[in-house]
Structure 1
Amino acid sequence: MPHGQLTVLGSCAAWPEPGRACSGLLVEYDGVRLVLDLGFATLPRLLAHCPDGDVDGVVITHAHSDHCVDLNGLLRVRHHGGRASDRIPLLCPPPVAALVDGLEHRPRLAELFDVRALPGTHRVGPFQVTGLPLPHHVPACGVRLVAGDLVVAYSGDTGPHENLVELGLRADLFVVEATLAGGRTDEHLLSARQAGRWASAAGARRLMLTHFWPGSDRAAAVEQARETFAGEVIAAEEGLTVELGTGHRMS
């Protein structure tokens, strides 16, 4: 059976706390490496796992800098590192490419990436990648990855929405943002308790909380999610690796 794992590149919302990074995940399965979001300070962590930016695809959930600004860095690595002829899939809502291409005149994303629009469904190696629209301040998508019997889902940034059930349906691991604390609610963001409710509604096996506002009490967020979700709850931490399809956690 192919081996799969997910590594947290970054877990902060808005800006990175010292020693941390903003949103980013690396999913590896059957020898294929797929990046989900590249926020502030995620690129050095990605390069520690994938020298020279050697990945097989990138998915960006929306055009906020804490989710996509280091895509410009990956573009530079691949361009100046001599990989300009090696175009790989880049799946994202159209405003993402416009934002990143607006940072400088050259190189352009389309020179190094096969840019494909989300929402929608695309094939990247063994993965069927589906982007489902979710409510946020800008056009945003959650991401559902299916490879054989393995299902991994990632909310990106979102408020409460019924698409979260379809997104995380029976997922082995559902990675859900948990920005809000202190009982706050918002149509564009979730709390840890809400993340737990949606993971329960989706029938997910495990829940990983991420996108913590700087200074948040992550242990408290895990406890709050456990009030509404009966499965394993994990707080995203930079460098944490989780095996997929086995239920085992790695360091």
Structure 2
Amino acid sequence: MLTKEETATLKNYLALAPNPEESFTFEELEGYLFGLAMTPGLLLSSQWLPVIFGDDMPTFDPLGQVEEMHNCLIQVYNRQVAHFHDKKLTFPFNLNELDSAALEDLYAWVSGFEEAITLFEELWDPEEYDYLSEQQAQQLYHSLMTIEGLVDPYEVMDFFENMPSEAFLEVFPQGGDSSENRELQIQMFLLASLPLAIETLQNHSKSLESIATREDKKRKIEKAKNASRKGKSNIIEVDFGQKK
């Protein structure tokens, strides 16, 4: 959660974008930071910051106001990362209490979240991890499809169009007697799937970080062993026995 002061500061920061049409809205920024916070590995601000402003950063002013806004953004990002590692970074919407305004905010949030996922898309691609079970790979794929389908519905229409009618009716008991009803039902299905999709992606990230931690420990142990062997090989044995 952002404080009122942080919200105001970040909105003012976004308002300084040289090309407002290319920069994020505040809701997109929230989703973007959420996605970045759960991205495994160490991220440099130079990798993700320009995306917020469409690669055209605000000019730093002599009074230091922009720098202060920038620092606020970094602090919020760092706090989100800490929340993720403390298992406190949770999906921020209640799908049972969405009015039209909140729904619009949700779609903007997902758009920003998708930008974060796309920025490091190789980390989320199931085909990059041959150790995943078929079920795990499918869960990861469907999670990505959920995000993509909410941002660009036409990208996932083929998947549902090719779904056998029996399977479609199982997922959508109301059926789809028109293309509009079908598209609406698909969107409702994707929205309902969103919290689980976020959770699946978070679990994938934690798994990658756990693997990286284990590999790092192995490297350190092996390095220590090699150093020990090298030290022993450099020892010169001297016979201090008395001469006869």
The TM-score, its normalising length taken from structure 2, stands at 0.27
Larger Rg: 2
* Structure with bigger RCO (C-alpha 8 Å, 6+ apart): 2
The TM-score, its normalising length taken from structure 1, stands at 0.26
